[in-house]
Structure 1
Amino acid sequence: MEGAYILLFFLLFLHKSYAAVLHIISDSSFLTDRDTLVSPARIFELGFFKPGSSENRYLGIWYKNISIRKVVWVANRDYPLLGTSPLVLKIVDQGILGLFNNISLIWSSNTTTLANVTAKLQDNGNLVVIDQDSGVIWQSFDYPTDTLLPGMKLGRDLLRGKEWHLSSWKSSQDPAPGEFTLGADAVGYPEYKIKHRALVKVRNEPWANQLLCRIVIGNKSLAFTYDVIIQEVSKGQLEFFWATREMVVGRRWQSINMTQQSCACLDEKRFVPKNPKGWETGDWSSGCIRRAPLECKNGIEGFIKYSNLKLPDTEYTWFDMNMTLEECHTKCLQNCTCMAYANPDNTRSICLFWFSDLLDIVQPDDIGGRDIFVRMASTELGNNV
């Protein structure tokens, strides 16, 4: 096999000493380190690049017609190509899309099929391997790097056990996975979080169908996908790149920085700091507790509505995709461990239940938060049952 690869490169550079723009890769049409693969409408381009001042080479995808190159996907981010050895991307044995140097296989799509196979770059930036009999058998959208393109997903494929998440570059010169990730929790109602290693740095609102994103919650997947922006995670920040739906006119990157926050109890009339001394010194880790403890006697407890909030962390929650708020109230009241309930998406009937501490409730700076109904002792209810 090694001899065959050496012969391949000998023939390759004997007969092809010019750069080419390709629209398809097959077993007879291959991409060298001088070529690029371009999407049909010339929106995206795939080729080899060197990040920053690094001499390492990578196979990546970027916007073709935006002057400041922004690489949005990297194939061999864990396997830099050193030196100046010739490179080729080609369909080989049993439908594998493989990246080779003159010694070995560097990266592959890890696919297997006996049918004729081609690889194409779509106008949404998705590199696909297509089996003529069964269609797409592999796609780069299933392996995001640090950027979320319109149509990509973050979340989980429940059938295949696959997770879609972003991970930062190690540095501007090294696209290997860095210490920051953006993804969804493995349990509970889906929401995405930026983590520094295992530490949660930023948590979003629990998923809801909003202007720029679509939410998919079903038996096969839990995911959200954006319509009109690129989202990148870098050094614990989110950067947004705005463009038209046709993705041909780029504007500029905007960074969202992590900010330091102060804490307050949700309701100072009904909640107090669990550790008052720590609270005074800026240690809010113990959170707040109810002034009147819950007793859960004969259903006499109830719920108080708090509005315009970023809902609590949903890692330890249960949800029903077809339940009214009235049904939520009844079901939560019947379970003494149910601490709160809410509808995270006002466009449809969803009930989200919390069964542990309510963590990371935030009052947004602008209107647009959600309502949450928090379980309280009967002595705290007054006229708010």
Structure 2
Amino acid sequence: MVSFFCVLFSFFFLCSHVSSADTISADFTLSGDQTIFSSGGTFKMGFFQPGTSSNFYIGMWYQQLSKQTVVWVANRDKPVSDKSTSVLKISDGNLVLLEGNNQTPVWSTGLNSSSARQAVLLDDGNLVLRDDSGSVLWQSFDHPGDTWLPGAKIRYDKRTKKSQRLTSWTSIEDPSPGLFSLELDESTAYKILWNGSTEYWSSGPWNNQSKLFDSVPEMRLNYIFNYSFFSNATESYFTYSMYNTQNISRLVMDVSGQIRQSTWLNNNNQWNLFWSQPRQRCQVYSYCGSFGICNDKSLPFCQCPQGFRPKSQKDWDVQDYSAGCVRKTELQCSRGVINQFLPLTNVKLPDNLEVWGITTFTICGSTCLGNCSCMAYAHDESSNRCLMWTKDVLNLRQLEEDYSEGNTLYLRLSASDMPSSSSSGKSNKAMIFGAVLGSLGALALVLLAVIIMLRYCRRKRMRAEKSDGTL
């Protein structure tokens, strides 16, 4: 009889354990090394550390792949330092993450209702919060991170005129929201934004006749993905599925600023890039940050110009170039310290320029030299426009040597950071000499005009005095 009850108890324990393997409830929480699995074994959820980071996050990743690939993070901008004292649980009708002995709230699903009873990890990668009746109160598919899984939707709400966003990680070791995001706009086009505002790629609007986005003709050749677009009076959204459900695929708003669609190759145990936009890294807006130069023909793609260094070498080592470059020697032109200009040839001129006026190259250079706020200048020979940059230089791109539309940007440097001996240094010295000479020439012309005017006024006054004397 004792043996019978032991077997019976073990059976019920096993059944209870299996039934809760994909569920967080009042009877089962996540802490330390505990995990849950989706019913089909595709996804796993628990605490993880990205790369060499010392921070812990609650995340979801593929269970069966040899390379851990995280597809969703709950507390992406609020990591915890100790997973053993942190717990993910159902509390007051919400799924919450609590940290430390004081159980400080870190993250929550944020529902006003208190009817949620369990969180279930589904085999499509969706984490759903349900009440006693099984109704879905909250789901992770409505709160995307950087990954767009098959079956999920990135919506545009026509009532609120707001779109869900797919947002990149800051770096490969930091899942906090980065600078790059993908969203659907009211014209039914997906666009990629830098810093939530500057658009640098668009899919073009959805074409109902051809069943593709106008700027993504590759969709015609597709044989792996089944695409569909839906729009009514309240919302628009795009979704996709796999023709072969045994294949594993994902769309990611990558830290590179590219949207990337990849499929998993079992034979090679790696992700295979299927499609990406923009095609070149340097087409990503401000990919290399302030004063950074992007070059598609070099590795790494980002470099700092002469006289500059990475603002954070640690970030650059993990392919996060967003902080850009900083000067090795700060400018001190207001104190009489000599500054010079480094010519960067055959580049795409950076954004945020200011048109100073129509003038010669020489006067343009001397004007920038005399303005301590001027960080760089360029002269448009076709229109004689003087272009200046009084803020950080952004989106600077090195073009190929045979590219005919390249320009020369003159970047302000402390004289101590200038190349000691090079052709660029010689041309820069000649440019500075010409600029100073031109400035002196302009000043001499002004003084000459003043002298002539004073003499003219003096003669006119003397004539008037003589005239008064004769009368």
Q: Deviations over 1:309-331 (max 9, x none)?
A: xxxxxxxxxxxxxxxxxxxxxxx
C-alpha contact 1:55 1:83 (8 A) present in aligned 2? no
Instruction: From 247, 252, 255, give the equivalent of 1:232.
Output: 252
**Alignment match, 1:221:** 235
Q: Deviations over 1:257-279 (max 9, x none)?
A: 53379xxxxxxxxxxxxxxxxxx
Identical residues among aligned pairs (%): 34
Q: 1:38, CA displacement in angstroms?
A: 0.7
C-alpha contact 2:180 2:194 (8 A) present in aligned 1? yes
**Alignment match, 1:98:** 96
C-alpha contact 2:94 2:114 (8 A) present in aligned 1? no
> Which amino acid is 1:230 matched to?
R
Q: 1:282, CA displacement in angstroms?
A: 8.0
Q: 1:242, CA displacement in angstroms?
A: 1.9
The DSSP-based 3-state class of the residue aligned with 1:253 is strand
C-alpha contact 1:201 1:236 (8 A) present in aligned 2? no
C-alpha contact 1:167 1:177 (8 A) present in aligned 2? yes
> RMSD in angstroms over aligned alpha carbons?
3.0
Pair 1:91–1:282, CA change in 2 (3 A): closer
Pair 1:84–1:215, CA change in 2 (3 A): closer
Mapped to 2, the partners of 1:240 and 1:202 lie a distance apart of 16
5 Å matches for 1:123-134? 123-133=123-133
**Alignment match, 2:43:** 44
The DSSP-based 3-state class of the residue aligned with 1:192 is strand
Q: 1:239, CA displacement in angstroms?
A: 1.9
Q: 1:241, CA displacement in angstroms?
A: 2.0
1:241 equivalent to 2:248? Answer no
Q: 1:238, CA displacement in angstroms?
A: 2.0
C-alpha contact 1:58 1:75 (8 A) present in aligned 2? yes
The DSSP-based 3-state class of the residue aligned with 1:207 is strand
Q: Deviations over 1:99-142 (max 9, x none)?
A: 11123111111124344611100010000001123600000000
Pair 1:56–1:114, CA change in 2 (3 A): closer
Q: 1:160, CA displacement in angstroms?
A: 6.9
**Alignment match, 1:55:** 54
1:157 equivalent to 2:157? Answer yes
Mapped to 2, the partners of 1:152 and 1:193 lie a distance apart of 18
1:174 equivalent to 2:177? Answer no
More helix by share: 2
The DSSP-based 3-state class of the residue aligned with 1:205 is strand
Q: TM-score, normalised by structure 1?
A: 0.57
The DSSP-based 3-state class of the residue aligned with 2:206 is coil
1:252 equivalent to 2:266? Answer no
> Which amino acid is 2:234 matched to?
K
> Which amino acid is 1:222 matched to?
S
Q: 1:163, CA displacement in angstroms?
A: 2.7
Mapped to 2, the partners of 1:76 and 1:64 lie a distance apart of 20
> Which amino acid is 1:225 matched to?
T
Q: Deviations over 1:332-378 (max 9, x none)?
A: xxxxxxxxxxxxxxxxxxxxxxxxxxxxxxxxxxxxxxxxxxxxxxx
> Which amino acid is 2:31 matched to?
T
The DSSP-based 3-state class of the residue aligned with 1:141 is helix
> Which amino acid is 1:200 matched to?
E
Q: Deviations over 1:212-246 (max 9, x none)?
A: 321111123111112134110112112222259xx
Gaps of 5+ in 2: 1-16, 213-224, 243-248, 284-346, 352-471
> Which amino acid is 1:46 matched to?
M
**Alignment match, 1:353:** none
C-alpha contact 2:31 2:83 (8 A) present in aligned 1? no
Mapped to 2, the partners of 1:116 and 1:144 lie a distance apart of 21
Q: Which moved more, 1:137-146 or 1:193-202?
A: 193-202
1:82 equivalent to 2:81? Answer yes
Mapped to 2, the partners of 1:27 and 1:217 lie a distance apart of 39
**Alignment match, 1:65:** 64
Mapped to 2, the partners of 1:85 and 1:161 lie a distance apart of 42
Q: 1:183, CA displacement in angstroms?
A: 0.8
Pair 1:162–1:62, CA change in 2 (3 A): farther
C-alpha contact 2:146 2:169 (8 A) present in aligned 1? yes
Q: 1:159, CA displacement in angstroms?
A: 5.4
5 Å matches for 1:263-302? none
Gaps of 5+ in 1: 1-18, 262-280, 286-385
5 Å matches for 1:1-12? none
Q: TM-score, normalised by structure 2?
A: 0.47
The DSSP-based 3-state class of the residue aligned with 1:65 is coil
Mapped to 1, the partners of 2:22 and 2:113 lie a distance apart of 22
Q: 1:87, CA displacement in angstroms?
A: 1.4
Mapped to 1, the partners of 2:198 and 2:105 lie a distance apart of 36
**Alignment match, 1:368:** none
**Alignment match, 1:136:** 136
The DSSP-based 3-state class of the residue aligned with 2:24 is coil
5 Å matches for 1:296-375? none
Mapped to 2, the partners of 1:132 and 1:98 lie a distance apart of 18
Q: Deviations over 1:279-309 (max 9, x none)?
A: xx989x9xxxxxxxxxxxxxxxxxxxxxxxx
**Alignment match, 1:120:** 120
Q: Which structure has the larger Rg over C-alpha atoms?
A: 2
**Alignment match, 1:25:** 24
| Greater RCO structure (CA 8 Å; 6+ sep) | 1
**Alignment match, 1:378:** none
